[in-house]
Amino acid sequence: MKSTLAPRYTRVAIILHWLIALLIVANYVIAWSAEDLPKAELIALMGYHKANGLSILTLTLVRIAWRLVHKGPPFSAALSAWEVALARVTHFLLYFLMLAIPLTGWGMVSGGGDPVSWFGLFEIPALPVGPDKALGGIFHESHEVLAIVMLGLLALHIAGALKHQLLDRDDTMARMAPFLSRR
């Protein structure tokens, strides 16, 4: 018998959403905790930041490809037009930043032509950006500014999800969280 429950995102989309969210949070925590460490420890920790960041980039490409082939479930009928528009713009900008932040980070560390080690298992080549100091500076500045912009968007995204779950009490959150029962 066909289920009458509100449809969810696909299992793949849900796993990628929460896995990438976890890795992104870890990358902020790593970058912030590395700041005041002695040089050797800072370099070691930022090695994890770079490898983790390139994993986020790869998983995001897979996720966007998956998303282009599998449409998301429809929004709850109770949502107003502005809420749908705000959610769409926020999601689009989040995808953009999930690509732009790791790419600017990779560009920033590629000036010397050194590859990035992926947790000591294999090496990922530098981007062909050349030793241009000004360009390196732009990547560096953009990386930091975009990471702050993403924090703002994530605050909005999470506030929206919690508003739907706790105040509106609709199915928005259950579409992305399989452990929540649908109302």
CB-based contact 122:164 (threshold 8 Å): no
**x/- string (CB under 6 A) for ligand HEM, residues 44-83?**
--x--xx--xx-x----------x----x--x--------
**Amino acid letter, 84:** V
CB of 4 to ligand HEM, least distance (A): 19
Instruction: State the Cα–Cα distance between residues 54 and 61, nearest whole angstrom.
Output: 11
- The structure tokens listed for 179 are 């452990």
Residue with tokens 């009458």: 4
CB of 80 to ligand HEM, least distance (A): 13
CB-based contact 177:9 (threshold 8 Å): no
**Amino acid letter, 96:** F
Instruction: State the Cα–Cα distance between residues 81 and 177, nearest whole angstrom.
Output: 23
CA-based nearest residue to 105, from 154, 39, 56: 56
**x/- string (CB under 6 A) for ligand HEM, residues 128-167?**
---------------xx--x------x--xx--xx-----
- Confirm or reject binding of residue 24 to ligand HEM (CB under 6 A): yes
Per CB under 6 A, residues contacting ligand HEM are: 17, 21, 24-25, 27-28, 31, 46, 49-50, 53-54, 56, 67, 72, 75, 87, 91, 94-95, 98, 101-102, 105-106, 108-109, 116, 143-144, 147, 154, 157-158, 161-162, 172-173, 175-176
